[in-house]
Structure formats: C-alpha cells, structure tokens
Structure 1
Amino acid sequence: MASLTRASRIKNPALFICDIQDKFRSKIYEFQKLVSTTDKMIRASNALQLPIYITTQSRAKLGNTVPELATNLTGPNVRADVDKTLFSMITPELERQLPAWPLDVIIVGIETHICVTQTTLDLLQRGHRVYILVDGVSSINPEERGIALARLRDAGAIVTSSESILFEILGDAGHAQFKAVTGLVKETSEVTKSALGAFSKI
C-alpha cells in the first residue's frame, strides 16, 4: 500500500471512534466535550456518507458506546462496530472491513496516549494517513495528551481540529452537503469553542 504524504489534501476520509464508553465518563478529562466533538463528527460523516469504524474496549466490563453517540450510529456508512481487548483499534476483525486503498483516517476517542496512539501507529505503518482531532481526543490525565500528540505528529500523523477537517473535506462552497455541514458547524459553535479552549493547550 502506497503511503500518503502530509502535504496533500484529504481524499478518502473515514471516521474512527475509539472506545467512548460509559465507564470512562467520570474518569476522562473533559469527557463531555469529547462527546460533543464526536457527535458533531458523526452527524457530519452521516451527511457526507463517510465510512465510520467504531470500537469498544472490553464492552462487558466497560459498557457500550455512550448512548448520546449511539443514536446517530445506525446508518449504512457504519462499516464496523467491534469490541476488543487489544489497545489498538486495528484488530483482525476491523482490518477485514478496511478497503484495499489508503484511507485518510480521522480519529476521535480515548485514551490519547494508549488506544489512540497505538491505533495511529498501526494505521501509519499500513500506509494510511491519520488526522487526530485535538478537540476530539482525551485521557484520564490531561498532561498525557500533549505528550502523545507530540509523539504522533513526529511519527507522521496530522494534528488538527474538527472544524478545520470538515471544511477541508468540503473543499468548495459548491459541495452538495455544504449547507448541511456548515449549518452543523454553526449549531455547535459554542461547544466547539469550549472544547478547543479545554483541549488546544498541548
């Protein structure tokens, strides 16, 4: 699989949602802001018909994907919903659902320094390009985020924001889903500002 460079624009976006589960709700730094960003990305992905891949970590112990996200995770663009014990999302089951061509993977979820890190490294090794949303990843200890994001940027990942990536996917005000996505951006502008205020200091 040919590698994609960081310098070229996004081409084949897919959303990866890593382990946003009920048991983490009271432990993860700014969990609700993470959920808000993820909900925006799910709704935009549905409008744009982007493939979505979901994992949970040891679901029987840690719970399902939080219900406020699960509501919008029912469409045909949900390609996988996998429970795992691996820290990486790239389990054999999920990998079988990936296309043969390189993806531009947009990652949201937890924890930045464990599951998000290992997923990113596995995707990069396989020739995919990875975009990590600074307002969409968190950890129990907030300081772990900056350490992990610096490492992953050095490894070849792109650290960006939810609003930036959505407008890059649109690319043109003439896009068929421009009004739907920009309407969503406007609707969520206050929660986006709040999430960036909490998460962008890395």
Structure 2
Amino acid sequence: MLNKEDTVFVLVDVQGNLAGLVHDKQALFSNMQKLIKSLQILNVPIIWVEQTPSAIGETIVQISSLLTNLTPISKTTFSAAKNDEFMTALKKTDRKQVLVAGIESHVCVYQTAMDLHQQNFEVEIISDAVSSRTQSNKQIALLKMQSKGLTLSSTEMALFELIGDAESKEFKQIIKIIK
C-alpha cells in the first residue's frame, strides 16, 4: 500500500510539441493536473524532469503553472535515474515509493521506472497519467513494465490509497479536485 510519508512523485517530460502529439492528451493532462494538485495537498514531494528542453521545449503551461515552487531538472538521458541531479533530489526525499507519470510511456517513463525498480524503489506507474504518441506503444510499455514487476495504478486509485480515510481533511479537499 502507498503511504504518503514514503511516497515521492516523478513527473517525466510533459513538454513542447511532443505533449500535443500523444494519444488521448486531454485526459492525460486532466489526470496529471488532478494528481499534482492532490499530491500537493498531501505534501508528497514532486520531482519534475524535462528531456533536452532546448530541443523539445519546456513543460506545457497546463502543468508547469501548477509547479511554480519547483524547478525542472534537465536531462539528456532517457532514464532520469541516469541523471545525477535527479538521483540526488530523489535520495534527498528519503522516500522509497515512487509514483511515475509522464511521456512517453515506452521511452523515458519506461527507462526511468525500470532503472528505479532495479535500484530497489517501489515503483508505481500511474497508467492514466502516462502516454505515448500511439496507443500501442503505451500498452506495450505498460505490459512490459508490469511483467518486470512494476505496479500499475490509476490517478484515483493512488490518491485514495494515499488518503486512506474519508474523514481526513485531505479527502475533503481532494474529492473536489477529482470530481
């Protein structure tokens, strides 16, 4: 089970023109927004990475506008786990459960998640908050990650797991976001 004191969220490469090309982008962006707003209420740390922003572009405004107190970590490696600045930020949180969302499912999300899993982090992919340019690449990535021992979840499932109690003050705030 997810525990908000043990969880960190990694947001991967929701950038530039690429973000506009992914499958079912409106649902993806909506789920990411719900996730980010809710995780902020739960005080779950967020680590935000961008793949070569000088070439791909910056994170889309629908997402970056929610992260004004954070600075993205720029990377050139497909796996964020191969980036020293990212790994330093992740280890600094002292969290072992890692929620991952972003694009593209079959490249940067997959490689980041697999590398973190190999480093003994408990990785959960938020399946309705990841995408690729094609639905088939997303599905193959999810199947492969699951077959390698990573856990799949959804935005609401992960949030309700982190909240844990309908009487909590966080639940009352978050339910307004996800409905």
Q: Tell me what 1:97 maps to.
A: 89
User: Are 2:50 and 1:56 aligned?
Assistant: yes
The alignment-based identity, stated in percent, is 31
Deviation digits for residues 70-128 of structure 1 (CA, Å, limit 9, x no counterpart): 111023xx4x6211110012211110112364421111111111111101111111111
- In structure 1, give the amino acid aligned to 2:41: A
Tell whether the 8 Å contact from 2:106 to 2:132 is kept in structure 1 after alignment: yes
- In structure 1, give the amino acid aligned to 2:136: E
- Residues 117-156 of structure 1 aligned to structure 2 (within 5 Å): 117-156=110-149
Higher share in helix: 2
User: Are 2:75 and 1:84 aligned?
Assistant: yes
Q: Tell me what 1:68 maps to.
A: 62
Q: Give unpaired runs (5+ residues) of structure 2.
A: none
Q: CA RMSD in A?
A: 1.4
Q: How far apart are residue 148 of structure 1 and its match? A: 1.1
Tell whether the 8 Å contact from 1:18 to 1:109 is kept in structure 2 after alignment: yes
Q: Tell me what 2:30 maps to.
A: 36
Tell whether the 8 Å contact from 2:99 to 2:125 is kept in structure 1 after alignment: yes
Tell whether the 8 Å contact from 2:7 to 2:95 is kept in structure 1 after alignment: no
SS of the residue 1:53 aligns to: strand
Q: Tell me what 2:17 maps to.
A: 23
Q: Tell me what 1:170 maps to.
A: 163
How high is the TM-score relative to the length of structure 2?
A: 0.92
Tell whether the 8 Å contact from 1:113 to 1:148 is kept in structure 2 after alignment: yes
Q: How far apart are residue 174 of structure 1 and its match? A: 2.7
Q: Distance in 1 between matches of 2:95 and 2:66?
A: 26
Q: Distance in 2 between matches of 1:159 and 1:33?
A: 17
Q: Distance in 2 between matches of 1:147 and 1:14?
A: 25
Tell whether the 8 Å contact from 1:102 to 1:129 is kept in structure 2 after alignment: no
Instruction: Name segments (4+ residues, structure 1) moved above 6 Å.
Output: none
Tell whether the 8 Å contact from 1:102 to 1:127 is kept in structure 2 after alignment: no
Q: Distance in 2 between matches of 1:87 and 1:169?
A: 28
